[in-house]
Structure 1
């Protein structure tokens, strides 16, 4: 849970680097939210006898997506920075199939062990100022 909260606290931090664990734990929580929140919407709609209109069911998840859009983008930028790539590489996901696979490989790759142009390695821990 601390990995998820760390990403939310650093929601506009596009600079620096993010470890694989930080990125993938955030993705895991987002997947869990994608499962739980629509179920919660259906449950509330049934309890309030409001019917199961798609809009009512998806309101909780839509609000969650809106709230986590910027943190998701920021952590993806930092993850790419850890692999020595610019955040602009996220745009490759617009290329059908091959772009998504390439981006997945980049995000799953191990980061550079030494410092790179985006900062020191997050595996080494925080640098004392």
Structure 2
């Protein structure tokens, strides 16, 4: 839940890096929320005999577009790829698979042009220098 809240708070932060755990837990919580809202929407539709219950799903979908895109871009930065690689998903047949492979890759070791490795909050050099001063 903390990763979900972290991504919502950083909804417009397209810089920096996001580790795999941050991205996949954010995606998991979004999936669970969409399921819950879908069930609530279906219940509302049955109770009121209309199709207006799914407005909740649509509103949440609009709310989560920017935080999700920001998280994907930060995840791509973590593997030292530009956020523009998100558009790979629009290549017919192979694009979604290629993007999935990129999103499951391990973090780029050390610092890259997008920042420090989020798995190592302090640089290795700083940690190795402790006690040698």
Instruction: Summarize deviations over 1:31-79 as a string: whole Å, max 9, x none.
Output: 11221111101112333xx2142xx131111111111100000000000
Give 4+ residue runs of structure 1 displaced > 2 Å after superposition. Answer: 44-47
- Tell me how large the CA RMSD over aligned residues is: 1.3
Report what 1:51 is aligned to.
49
- Using structure 2 for the length normalisation, give the TM-score: 0.88
Report what 2:35 is aligned to.
35
The structure having more radius of gyration, on CA atoms, is 2
Corresponding pairs, count: 123
Deviates more, 1:16-25 or 1:58-67: 58-67
Report what 1:82 is aligned to.
78
- Using structure 1 for the length normalisation, give the TM-score: 0.90
Residue pair 1:42, 1:52 contacting (<8 A) in 2 also: no
Higher RCO structure (Cα 8 Å, ≥6 apart): 1
Residue pair 1:7, 1:71 contacting (<8 A) in 2 also: yes
Structure 1 unaligned regions, length at least 5: none
2:56 to 46, 56, 60: 60
Structure 2 unaligned regions, length at least 5: 124-133
Residue pair 1:113, 1:121 contacting (<8 A) in 2 also: yes
Measured in 1, the distance between the counterparts of 2:122 and 2:44 equals: 44
SS at 1:104 equivalent: helix
Measured in 2, the distance between the counterparts of 1:62 and 1:84 equals: 33
SS at 1:46 equivalent: helix
Report what 1:23 is aligned to.
23
